[in-house]
Amino acid sequence: MIDPLADELALVQERYPEAGLEEAGGGRRLFLPSVPLPNGWNRRSTPVWVSIPQVYPNVRPDCFFAAPDLRLAAGGEPANSGVQALDGQVVRWFSWHPASWDPQHDGLLQYARFVERRFAEAR
């Protein structure tokens, strides 16, 4: 069977060679093992998980998850985030959503770039 996300994953892997898709919780997730973080964070990189909706790409990914100990460099909690469980592991949930989504043009690579822009804000 052909995986409809294979082409999208290949594009993501051009930027994040170790990226992969995981089966989890009755669905799938994009896994980015090491997203570089700019100054302003307490880590130099973080893993990121993005849940892929069942009706993707018609519905965009909603929120993303990172290392549970990810904080601002001064120790504060990042805006619109919290620590929670995801399939039995503790992660930091970021409630951030792209302002727009066009299923004809947007995909997993665009969402990965959205995550990068969020981290660039360091707030």
Q: What residue spans define the domains of the chain? A: 6-121
- Name the average pLDDT for the chain: 94
| pLDDT computed for residue 8 by the predictor | 95
**pLDDT in tens for each of the 123 residues of the chain?**
568 899 999 999 999 999 999 998 788 999 999 999 999 999 999 999 999 999 999 999 989 999 999 999 999 999 999 999 998 999 999 998 888 999 999 999 999 999 999 999 999
8-33 confidence digits (pLDDT tens): 999 999 999 999 999 987 889 999 99
122 CB contacts (<8 Å, ≥6 apart)?
38, 39, 40, 41, 72, 73
